[in-house]
Amino acid sequence: MFDPQMELLLTVLARVLAAEADGSAGVWEEARSALAACGGGEEDLALALELEDREELERLTTAWRSGAQPLPEHDRGVLKRALKAYRKRLKVTLLDAESSLGGGPFSSGRTSDIVGITPPSRYPPPVWRELARQGRLVDSGQGTYELPPEPGR
């Protein structure tokens, strides 16, 4: 079941392309319902899904993944919310670690060495992989991600 608040439309389209190659039935309807749940908006994608045009769908997804064409509006919103949730989780984790490292009440405290965390589980792994592919997060391996180094540091 597609959750429009948390999942990328691109993952549904990738499943359509994979299932279409296998000859599975019903995947086009699943993609149309996912697009409708996202609010429509993408006329060229809606047309490709309506006509069940595999070549056009493949062209669109390739253009989105390569960066030649901006991602669908829905996917940009999901990625923005996911990155915001990641930053908030990282901030809370750092604050928690720094508050327990300090020692006594009269010490100046210490800074935390934490640079990466496991991202919030409410977003599926394809969201985090896409953010890493875009360079907005760095995949540290074993399910942890960190923010990329800031320019000039």
Q: Domain extents for the chain?
A: 9-66, 76-146
Work out the mean pLDDT of the chain and round it to a whole number.
86
Name the residue with higher pLDDT: 67 or 109.
67
pLDDT at 97: 82
pLDDT in tens, 20-64: 666 666 888 888 888 888 887 788 888 988 888 889 999 999 998
Name the residue with higher pLDDT: 100 or 42.
42
Angle at the Cα of 108 from the Cα atoms of 103 and 110, rounded to 5 degrees: 70
Residue type at 19?
A
Alpha helices for the chain (secondary structure H)? 9-22, 27-38, 43-51, 54-66, 73-101, 125-133
Partnered with residue 38 across adjacent β-strands are: none
pLDDT at 67: 83
